Structure 1
Amino acid sequence: MWTVGSAANIAEELVAPLGRRWLHVQAVAARAGTISYAFPPGEARNLVAAAWLHDIGYAPSIGHTRFHPLDGARYLRDQGWPADVVNLVAHHSGARFEAEERGLAAELSEFPFEDSPALDALVEADLTTGPGGERLTYDERIAEILSRYPPEDPVHRTWVKAAPILRGAVQRTEARLVKTQPK
């Protein structure tokens, strides 16, 4: 049986050696934990576990395609993680747009895409957290990403296309949080 704790342990094992990315992952997981009150317990657990695991595909030991959402999802699937968690990792933060840019859309389609509140919340947690774990606005995060990659890079092209759509995910999550905020 998997737990959020086991997700954190796997993330630490695979991502901590990558330096600053580990700070990002810890902060994304903390944000997901903070906003998980807006979900039923099972969905909340999946969200927080996926937040811990969302960047494990960057680990060289599992990064076979060099496309981290796909590599992370394949690893988790092969380790027997629940499909809901695996699919959140596979499709986090606009992965479908980058898969298209990289010619990996068919491979990513191994994992069903579900446009869901949990995916929106994972997007919000990831795209309001900077690379060193600092809290950013969505606009600051997108500007930071675009500044790191030249215009000809697939990541840059992805964010130019995906930014308006992912902004919607962040806005839906923020509205959900206001609506479900504990009294």
Structure 2
Amino acid sequence: MTSVELTEDAYALAEEMLAEPLPRRWAHSLGVAERARSLRPVLGTDAELLEAAAILHDVGYSPGIAHTGFHPLDGARFLRERGFDEHVVRLVAHHSCALLEAEERGLRAELADSFPTEQPHLMDALIYCDMTTTPHGKPTTSDERVSEIVGRYGPDTIVGRFIQRAAPEIHSAVSRVRGQLASA
């Protein structure tokens, strides 16, 4: 499968799984993929791979595959079963500091043992794309995005605690990617 076919398949699957049951997630995923396209100057041959992971990163929220309630794990399992490229699977599994949320949910070992982490520059790039995109698919800052997530879920929930713990790494990843873009 070519990288273009991978991306086309990713868009088709994400739309099938998210557009109708979760239109806001679909809008967010489209925005994240758009951000991924903006990173082409710094990603080179990895650009299509990142775009595929970006459009699929929240597929684990789809009602038909949300088994554990932890969308990175559910999405990665689903994509692996569908035979998706293993780099995409691992990016989805670990997107936006997912290991920290897995820890909050008692699923860290399961996530880490089942899905090795991906190359750091790709992990940073996906964090950048996800954490600088609003739930409606519009650009934002990582500070605003973290605040929005805490506000939506509450500071004392699993997601609220996780995102507050992850915030320093999220902001660092966004800063690293912005630095790469500035140098390109």
TM-score, normalised via structure 2 length? 0.94
2:82 is aligned with 1:79: yes
2:151 is aligned with 1:147: yes
Aligned to 1:136: 140
Q: Distance in 2 between matches of 1:147 and 1:78?
A: 34
Aligned to 2:91: 88
**Conserved? CA contact 1:36–1:47, under 8 Å:** no
Q: Which of the numbers 53, 56, 81 marks the counterpart of 1:53? A: 56
**Conserved? CA contact 2:32–2:54, under 8 Å:** yes
**Conserved? CA contact 2:134–2:140, under 8 Å:** yes
Q: Which of the numbers 17, 34, 40 marks the counterpart of 1:36? A: 40
Q: Distance in 2 between matches of 1:172 and 1:152?
A: 29
Q: Report the residue type matching 2:41 in the other structure.
A: Y
2:69 is aligned with 1:66: yes
CA RMSD after TM alignment: 1.0
2:179 is aligned with 1:175: yes
Aligned-residue offset at 1:80? 1.1
Q: Distance in 1 between matches of 2:72 and 2:103?
A: 13
Identical columns (%)? 49
Aligned-residue offset at 1:29? 0.3
SS of the equivalent of 2:182 reads helix
SS of the equivalent of 2:95 reads helix
Q: Distance in 1 between matches of 2:43 and 2:25?
A: 27
TM-score, normalised via structure 1 length? 0.94
**Conserved? CA contact 1:92–1:123, under 8 Å:** yes
Q: Distance in 1 between matches of 2:92 and 2:133?
A: 16
Structure 1 residues 117-139: Cα deviation after superposition (integer angstroms, max 9, x where no partner):
11101100100100011211111
Q: Distance in 1 between matches of 2:100 and 2:119?
A: 14
Structure 1 residues 1-38: Cα deviation after superposition (integer angstroms, max 9, x where no partner):
24201100000000112021111010100110111221
Alignment of 1:111-126 (within 5 A): 111-114=115-118, 116-126=120-130
Q: Which of the numbers 141, 162, 165 marks the counterpart of 2:166? A: 162
Aligned-residue offset at 1:115? 5.1
2:11 is aligned with 1:8: yes
Question: How many residue pairs align between the two structures?
Answer: 179
Q: Distance in 2 between matches of 1:58 and 1:146?
A: 18
Q: Distance in 1 between matches of 2:70 and 2:149?
A: 16
Q: Distance in 2 between matches of 1:127 and 1:150?
A: 18
Aligned-residue offset at 1:159? 1.0
Greater shift in the superposed pair: 109-118 or 43-52 = 109-118
